[in-house]
Amino acid sequence: MTGRGIDQILPYPSSPEIYEPYMTSAVQYVKIAERSSGPIPRAVDYAYIWGDVLQALEDAAPDARIINLETAVTTSDDYWPGKGINYRMHPANTPCLTAAGIDCCVLANNHVIDWGYQGLRETLHSLQAAGIRIAGAGRDIAEARAPAVIDLGGQCRVSVFSMGSTSSGIGRAWAAGMLVTVGGGLVGGARLALATEFNPKAFWDDVHRYGATVVFYAGEMLRELLRSPPSSSDNQNSIRLFAGSGLRRGAEQFP
């Protein structure tokens, strides 16, 4: 976990505000550690946080270095309300991962969306831009399900799959749930109209064009429709059901 207090001692600390019932600043975690272990330097070298682990890795010489990255890598301030603990690391501190030669980060955990869907997108971008493979999360269901493939040479490779359970604190709203809803529609014999992107301005035209009765959504895309200006189509349409996952509580209701 490279967020929170660890992020605060790296060269580019995130804004320290956190939304925990017992702590309001990530800096306070550094102070707790200092009370136990003495002064901790700031703006440390990226390798500093690993301590003796780097030498241990060199001695072990693993074929692949795979970690469970339990933090978002983002500057997003859109914290997930009511979660209680929100980890984040500034994207500019991503070199702390490459300093340890990390090949792959598994992301199907209870912190990857701590700072909203924008935070997830920035996490994915930051890791991929650093040349680090990802598994267990994605911009869509296909990316979330896809394994990270690490080529070891000599016709050998490692495929990394990552998945999480609600028993580990992952909210049901975080599920890459489009597969369930679309799959149910196909099994039921429904016709599907697919779009390459969600555009609130074109939404009602598409509904009328295809006679849609059920709309499948993922993540926060439905909120964009809820925030769009009122339209006569709000009440004059063929839709009977919106089905999906990922829309946080507090969304407004349709008229």
Closest by alpha carbon to 137, among 170, 176, 194?
176
The distance from CA 118 to its chain's CA centroid, rounded to whole angstroms, is: 8
Q: Give the model's pLDDT for residue 233.
A: 73
| Residue 199 confidence (pLDDT) above 70 | yes
Domain ranges of the chain: 5-163, 178-245
The mean per-residue pLDDT over the stretch 89-96 comes to: 98
Q: Report how far residue 188's alpha carbon sits from residue 109's, in angstroms, rounded to the nearest whole number.
A: 32
What's the whole-number average pLDDT of the chain? Answer: 86
Q: Can you tell me the mean pLDDT for 53-82?
A: 95
Beta strands 23-25; 156-160: pairing state? unpaired
User: How many CB atoms within 10 Å of residue 187?
Assistant: 8
pTM above 0.75, yes or no: no
pLDDT band for position 13 (50/70/90)?
very high
pLDDT of 247 reads: 67
Amino acid at 190: A
Note the pLDDT of residue 27: 96
Q: Is the pLDDT of residue 190 over 50?
A: yes
Q: Does the pLDDT of residue 177 top 70, yes or no?
A: no
Identify the pLDDT of residue 181.
53
- Phi, psi for residue 207 in degrees, rounded to 5: -60, -45
Query: What backbone phi and psi angles, to 5 degrees, belong to 37?
Result: -120, 0
**Residue 255: predicted pLDDT:** 43
CA atoms of 93 and 215, how far apart (whole Å): 40
